[in-house]
Amino acid sequence: MKLSREIKTAILVIAGVLLLVFMFNFLKGRNLFKDERNFFTEFDYNALSSSSPVTIKGNNVGKVEDIKYDFETGKTRVSFSVDPRLEFSKTSKIRLYETGIMGGNALAIIDSYEGEVAKAGDFIESEIQPGLVSSLKENFTGLSTNLDKTLRSADTLMISLNSLLNDDTEAGLKTTISELNKTLTSFRSLSFSIQDVVKQNDSKVASILENFDAASKDLTSITDGLKDVKIDETVARLDKTLDNVNSLMNDFKNGDGSMSKLLNDDKLYNNLEGASKELELLLLDIKLHPARYRRILSKREIPYEPPTEEQINNNKDD
């Protein structure tokens, strides 16, 4: 079928109008061939623009479609669209936040994961996250005051430095630099003297190092010898000896054995004490009457006479 010129012209005009509408919406950020769901929210002021991004967890899932001022409530009503595959709770929040100092603002969906799923056309509550620029605006007064104080302090410091570096102190600075130069010169001469001393005693230093090396070798040989000693066996023998000593002491304490009886028997002590007293009296009698014991082999008997207290005391004093 052959189309007339009028029909062709009409088709071209309609196609041009459709293309113009598509391009106009495309430039505004709208895609007529993409299925999207629209939602609404409100703010006290407008900080957005058409086609501002809508994100969730940092991912772009939609854009701002329309911004209108509500003359009845005095608030800004924002319409935004999201991908139809995205589902979030109706009790979620739409947060207005800054994307950067030069990046503008955007909307973020803060899903609460509670309640029913939001449907197209629902109204979602909003909130505002303070940004860097707004914080600077709020604190600009304090910042300006602190900056003014800092500048005044810097000015005072510069005035003080200028007063220190006037012509009156120039001679003092020169004197100080001269003294510092002398000190450095003296330190240099001292370092040269130390180098000369080291060079003169180079052989002695080498000898000291050799002696130290020999001593370290001897110490190494001693430690190697200690490694060869069977310390475990020695400790075991010492432990066994201590056990035997403990057993012997327990026997003494419990009264077992001859030594324990000799040490713990009071009768033996009393007998030894009596014998010592008898021996003392015998020696005293020999001292007082030696003639009696010279005649011990003779038939004549000399009766025994006990010593007096005076003789016993005199013997103790002697």
C-beta of residue 88 within 8 angstroms of C-beta of residue 117: yes
- Average pLDDT of 114-118? 91
Average pLDDT, the chain: 78
For residue 64, the model assigns a pLDDT of 92
In the chain, pLDDT over 70 holds for what percent of residues? Answer: 71
Q: What does the alpha-carbon distance between residue 165 and residue 101 come to, in Å, rounded to a whole number?
A: 45
Tens of pLDDT, residues 125-134: 999 887 654 5
Give the C-alpha separation, 226 to 239, whole Å: 20
Check residue 118 and give its pLDDT.
Answer: 92
Q: Which two tokens stand for residue 132?
A: 């860097």
pTM: 0.37
Residues 160-202 have pLDDT tens digits of 766 655 555 566 667 778 888 888 888 888 888 888 777 777 7
pLDDT, greater one: 204 or 263: 204
Given this model, what pLDDT does residue 298 score? 55
Q: Which residues contact 222 (CB under 8 A, 6 or more apart)?
A: none
Number of H helices, E strands in the chain: 10, 7
Average pLDDT over residues 151-163: 75
H/E run at residue 107 = strand 104-110
Q: Which residues contact 198 (CB under 8 A, 6 or more apart)?
A: 205
Check residues 176 and 82 and name the one with the higher pLDDT: 82
Q: Which span out of 130-134, 158-162, 275-279, 284-288 was modeled with the highest average pLDDT?
A: 275-279
